[in-house]
Every structure is written in C-alpha cells, then in structure tokens.
Amino acid sequence: MAQRLILITAALVVLIALFFIFQSRLAAPTAPTAAGTIAARVDGNALDPATITLDEGAQTILTLTSTRRVRFHLHGYDLERTLTPGEPVSLTFTATLTGRFTIEDEDSGAQLGTLLVQPRGGR
C-alpha cells in the first residue's frame, strides 16, 4: 500500500514537472526575454510569432527562416536581410530602442509582424 502511494506521488511529480516545462516552451516566443536566441519564420505574409517581444537592452540573435524569398526589413533598427527558403539568416542586435517597430516585406510593403521592445523597469 505504501509502495503504491509512493509510485502515485512520483508519477504526479513527473507530470507536474512536464506540464511546466512544456508550458514555458509554448510561451517562449512572445514572452519578454532578457537575452538569447529567438526563432521566427515568415510564412506567406505572416511572421510567426506575429510579435517578437524583447526587454530593453536584450542582446538578441534573431534566427529567421522563410517559406518564400522575402526582403525582411526591421524598421527602427533598420536591419534588412533577404531570406530564401531553406537558408536560415541570423540578425544580431542589442535592443537599445524601445517601442513598437514594424517588420516589413520591403518589396511589397506588407507588414509581416512587429517587434516590441519594452522599457527596462516596466512602462
């Protein structure tokens, strides 16, 4: 009986741990990030995630992929790269400017997504 209780408790602990691990992974793309690598993908005219959220000062490596050829332009920081399918491109920058910045398909003018840089210490 005691053995069974230990087994059930151990199984519950594992399940709870797995829940938190997967939950934090799912939330990761749009959660504020102090530093690190963020992956984003252009699919047609949509960026996934649609909004990339950073904290002011975050040292960022933005790894970009695309399902089509696109001139990716991050306004504000004025970073531009041509993406082609199957060839990931990394943009390295420090989030020194706060605010909302349009991410555009430079050729068509279509907005793909948004970069949101939150001021340090909240708004």
Task: Give the interface segment with Cu ion, choosing from 12-20, 50-58, 83-91, 98-106 (CB under 5 A).
Answer: 98-106
Q: Which is nearer to Cu ion, 54 or 72 (CB)?
A: 72
Sheet holding 111-118, edge to edge: 51-55, 111-118, 99-105, 70-74, 79-83
- 55 makes contact with Cu ion (CB under 5 A): no
Residues 6+ apart with CB under 8 A from 76: 97, 99, 101, 102, 115
Distance CA(116)–CA(67), nearest Å, equals 23
- Asked if 106 interacts with Cu ion (CB under 5 A), we say yes
Is residue 105 a contact residue for Cu ion (CB under 5 A)? Answer: no
Q: Which of 66, 103, 104, 105 binds Cu ion (CB under 5 A)?
A: 104
Specify the residue, 55 or 106, whose C-beta has the smaller distance to Cu ion.
106
73 is a contact residue toward Cu ion (CB under 5 A): yes
Structure tokens at 41: 């993908």
Handedness of CA 77, 58, 21, 100 (dihedral sign): negative
56: its two tokens: 């002011």
| Residue nearest Cu ion by beta-carbon distance | 73
In this complex, which beta carbon is closest to Cu ion, that of residue 54 or of residue 104?
104
- The site for Cu ion (CB under 5 A) is made up of 73, 104, 106
